[in-house]
A and B are shown apart, each in its own frame.
Chain A
Amino acid sequence: MTEAAVGPVAPDPRPEVAPASMSARDLLSEAVAGIFSRPGRTVLTVLGTVLGIGALVATLGVAKTAGNQIVGRFDELAATSVVVTNEQGFFGGGGPRVRIPADAEERLMRLNGVTAAGSMGSVDVGGALVRSVPIPDPLAQTEFQMSIYAASPGLFDAVRATLRTGRWFDAGHSERGDRVAVLGPGAAQRLNIGRVDQQPVIFIGEDPFVVIGIIEGVLRQPSLLNGVVIPEGTARQLYDYESASTVQIDVQIGAASLIAEQAPIALNPNEPGLLRVQKPPEPEDLRRQVESDVNALFLVLGGVALLVGAIGIANVTLVSVLERVGEIGLRRALGAARRHIAAQFLVESTAMGLVGGVIGASLGVLVVVGISAARTWTPVLDPWVPLAAPLVGGVTGLLAGVYPALRAARLEPVEALRSG
């Protein structure tokens, strides 16, 4: 060609010959050119990773979003209710029961966070029927089997009751053993009592009680609605009422867990474990539960999709290696070392994984936003999820490319050029 082309090289027994080299930029542009040389196939190859990464991102996002939604909708009524019962005795369900002390209400009101507390329990009246003032009516039933409840004065607030008319009994009624009763709306209707201003009387068996109030509704302990409620002190005097069975506690928001821990100790310091406590589920627990439920299933699906995507990339890269045997031979002839060939195919498969990861992460975010929009939720996604997703895709591509790249690097240029 020119003088320079045939320039003299002095004989040198130990030559310093620079090895082949390839800049990172060239490596990258060669890989990109390789990817875009068959765009249709590249799209199909990337699809597997797109689906895998998309499923993973969407799963994490939807789980997070749904979890947060539960916290947003958390039930104020349920979250402020703690119920203690003595259903479980020494010997499980059937044994003798722990007594709930008569001053349960006072003990509980001393706890910080309790806004109202009241005990209640069924009164055994020996099968006595309930009737109002006898008006002989041959056509109508006048005596009824009814649930009689003994309640402490604080129960009214603890169950968040409202009155239709009259009043609730107070501590004085209970201490004196006054024969007063408050009727649930169902009971009032059956006994045909609609007003209390003239102090109507009902009879439990032969015992007369003055009706001082009628309940309109309760938010907790709905069994009260069909019953006759009398003061605890009265029940003790008349019916040997021993102990309440249920203590309803109304707590401040956020105090439920604490009170649920403290209440049994306050009520039965010797054996607090014998009392059963019903408390609202913690929002944190609930959210975590939902997240883990959703995650476990779909993360597995996403992982499977990703694996399929990786196999897809490995497959296509391998096919591509076999197809490009001639090109590989040529590159070796042009001075590419084995590692350059391996690097090129690795970069190609990594780039495909990376692109799949980016597209998949975008689609996943769109799915989260779409589901949130359809359900009028607030989409929530950890910021690291869409950022890490492309990396996961890239690593997938890298791993998938290892075997094909090694195959490509192992090719002998002589044979590669012949078969190309």
Chain B
Amino acid sequence: MIAPVVELRGVSRVFPAGDVSVTALVDADLVVEPGDYVAVVGPSGSGKSTMLNILGLLDRPTSGTYLLEGIDTSTLSEGQRAGLRSRRIGFVFQSFHLLSHRTVLENVLLATIYNRMPRSERLPAAEEALRRVGLGHRMDFLPTRLSGGERQRVAIARAIVTRPALLLADEPTGNLDSATGESVLAFFDELRNDGLTLIVVTHDDKVSQHAERQVRLRDGRIERAA
């Protein structure tokens, strides 16, 4: 039996804010099987970011259990969570988060230095990832010389270079015009067809339509997990 990539069981996240506490996520249940393409949608303030941070092991749930590939992440130390993050999860951010004074290739290589990838495999892996996103000819460029779409593709190459089990994207098209945004989404489709598990957090319906399943959040609760 293959464990689900993601399994949330009754996950809640409460932020203490002075005397009152803000509940950002309430009793969320979610199962994402390998190869799934899930969109988490909802208006701003609905708990999307909180969910993303929990899924990405950047934050711990206040209560409930999060299994990543069958591993109960709540029992792990911070160092182990960081290790898991570096090997099994790839991130794509709205604002790309590329280091502006490092070349495209170096930006991609950055993802390999924290995860025990043997040195000899790093460069081939990074070059392959860049070729996959169609930037094999831009490896020595600085990100500042690239268009927004190209930058996001560098970020995607960085996210997949470690061959993660899960790709988490946070408003991946938020900083792009609709045409380039569409090309990025088309690339996500391609990745998904290759078997990668994707979770995209967005408020944009055009983005969520690419996913085969939408998880709608409202006031921290999952409305429909279809």
* Residues of A participating in the B interface, judged by any CB pair closer than 8 Å: 1-15, 17-23, 26, 30, 33, 37-38, 326-327, 329-340, 413-414, 417-418, 420
With most chain B CB atoms within 10 A of its CB, the pick from A10, A21, A26, A417 is: A417
The residues of A that contact B101 with a CB separation of less than 8 Å are 37-38
CB-CB under 8 A for A414 and B102, given A5-B163, A20-B114, A335-B83: no
**B44 at interface, CB cutoff 8 A:** no
The residues of B that contact A332 with a CB separation of less than 8 Å are 58, 82
Q: How far is the CA of A420 from the CA of B155 in the complex (A)?
A: 15
Contact of B3 among A9, A18, A326, A414 (CB under 8 A): A9
With most chain B CB atoms within 10 A of its CB, the pick from A8, A13, A14 is: A8
The residues of B that contact A37 with a CB separation of less than 8 Å are 99, 101-102
The residues of A that contact B116 with a CB separation of less than 8 Å are 18, 21
Q: How far is the CA of A26 from the CA of B122 in the complex (A)?
A: 12
* Residues of B participating in the A interface, judged by any CB pair closer than 8 Å: 2-3, 5, 34-35, 49, 53, 56, 58-59, 67, 69-72, 75-80, 82-87, 91, 93, 95, 97, 99, 101-102, 106, 110-111, 113-116, 119, 158, 160, 163-165, 191, 194-197
The residues of B that contact A329 with a CB separation of less than 8 Å are 97
| Interface pair A2/B79, CB less than 8 Å apart | no
Q: How far is the CA of A339 from the CA of B101 in the complex (A)?
A: 24
The residues of A that contact B191 with a CB separation of less than 8 Å are 1
CB-CB under 8 A for A6 and B35, given A13-B72, A17-B83: yes
CB-CB under 8 A for A20 and B82, given A1-B194, A327-B99: yes
The residues of A that contact B115 with a CB separation of less than 8 Å are 20-21, 335
| Interface pair B102/A15, CB less than 8 Å apart | no
Q: How far is the CA of A14 from the CA of B72 in the complex (A)?
A: 8
With most chain A CB atoms within 10 A of its CB, the pick from B59, B99, B119 is: B99
Q: A11-B67, A19-B77 are in contact. List 14 more A-B contacts (CB 8 A).
A: A5-B164, A8-B2, A14-B75, A19-B80, A20-B82, A20-B85, A20-B114, A33-B102, A330-B93, A334-B86, A334-B111, A334-B114, A335-B115, A414-B49
| Interface pair A414/B83, CB less than 8 Å apart | no
Q: Which residue of B lies closest to A339 (CB)?
A: B79
Contact of A15 among B5, B35, B72, B197 (CB under 8 A): B72
The residues of B that contact A8 with a CB separation of less than 8 Å are 2-3
| Interface pair B80/A414, CB less than 8 Å apart | no
The residues of B that contact A413 with a CB separation of less than 8 Å are 58
CB-CB under 8 A for A9 and B69, given A26-B113, A331-B114: yes
Q: How far is the CA of A109 from the CA of B8 in the complex (A)?
A: 106
Instruction: Pick 5 A–B contacts, CB within 8 A, sort by A.
Output: A6-B34, A11-B71, A14-B75, A337-B82, A420-B95
Q: Which residue of A lies closest to B100 (CB)?
A: A37
Q: Which residue of B lies closest to A8 (CB)?
A: B2
Q: How far is the CA of A11 from the CA of B73 in the complex (A)?
A: 12
A11 smallest CB distance to B (angstroms): 4
| Interface pair A414/B91, CB less than 8 Å apart | no
The residues of B that contact A326 with a CB separation of less than 8 Å are 95, 97
Nearest 9 Cβ contacts at the A-B interface? A335-B86, A19-B79, A11-B70, A20-B82, A335-B114, A9-B69, A37-B101, A20-B83, A26-B113
Q: How far is the CA of A227 from the CA of B129 in the complex (A)?
A: 105
The residues of A that contact B119 with a CB separation of less than 8 Å are 23
With most chain B CB atoms within 10 A of its CB, the pick from A2, A14, A330, A420 is: A330
Q: Which residue of B lies closest to A5 (CB)?
A: B163
Q: How far is the CA of A335 from the CA of B162 in the complex (A)?
A: 11
With most chain B CB atoms within 10 A of its CB, the pick from A33, A335, A337 is: A335
Q: How far is the CA of A335 from the CA of B165 in the complex (A)?
A: 14
Contact of B83 among A4, A18, A331 (CB under 8 A): A18
The residues of A that contact B87 with a CB separation of less than 8 Å are 335
| Interface pair B110/A331, CB less than 8 Å apart | yes
Q: Which residue of A lies closest to B95 (CB)?
A: A420
The residues of A that contact B2 with a CB separation of less than 8 Å are 8
B40 smallest CB distance to A (angstroms): 16
Q: How far is the CA of A334 from the CA of B92 in the complex (A)?
A: 11
| Interface pair B85/A335, CB less than 8 Å apart | yes
The residues of B that contact A327 with a CB separation of less than 8 Å are 97, 99
| Interface pair B194/A9, CB less than 8 Å apart | no
| Interface pair A9/B71, CB less than 8 Å apart | yes
The residues of B that contact A15 with a CB separation of less than 8 Å are 71-72, 75-76
The residues of A that contact B84 with a CB separation of less than 8 Å are 17
The residues of A that contact B163 with a CB separation of less than 8 Å are 1-2, 4-5
The residues of A that contact B56 with a CB separation of less than 8 Å are 333
| Interface pair A20/B79, CB less than 8 Å apart | yes
With most chain A CB atoms within 10 A of its CB, the pick from B34, B59, B114 is: B114
CB-CB under 8 A for A17 and B71, given A3-B195, A6-B195, A329-B97: yes
With most chain B CB atoms within 10 A of its CB, the pick from A3, A12, A38, A414 is: A414
The residues of A that contact B91 with a CB separation of less than 8 Å are 333-334
Q: How far is the CA of A43 from the CA of B57 in the complex (A)?
A: 38
Contact of B114 among A4, A12, A21, A338 (CB under 8 A): A21
Q: How far is the CA of A382 from the CA of B222 in the complex (A)?
A: 74
With most chain B CB atoms within 10 A of its CB, the pick from A5, A9, A10, A418 is: A5
Q: How far is the CA of A3 from the CA of B110 in the complex (A)?
A: 24
Q: How far is the CA of A279 from the CA of B94 in the complex (A)?
A: 85
Q: How far is the CA of A95 from the CA of B31 in the complex (A)?
A: 111
| Interface pair B71/A5, CB less than 8 Å apart | no
B5 smallest CB distance to A (angstroms): 7
Q: How far is the CA of A9 from the CA of B164 in the complex (A)?
A: 13
The residues of A that contact B97 with a CB separation of less than 8 Å are 326-327, 329-330, 417, 420
Q: How far is the CA of A15 from the CA of B83 in the complex (A)?
A: 13
Q: How far is the CA of A6 from the CA of B89 in the complex (A)?
A: 11
CB-CB under 8 A for A30 and B113, given A4-B163, A6-B5: yes
Q: How far is the CA of A10 from the CA of B67 in the complex (A)?
A: 12
B212 smallest CB distance to A (angstroms): 16
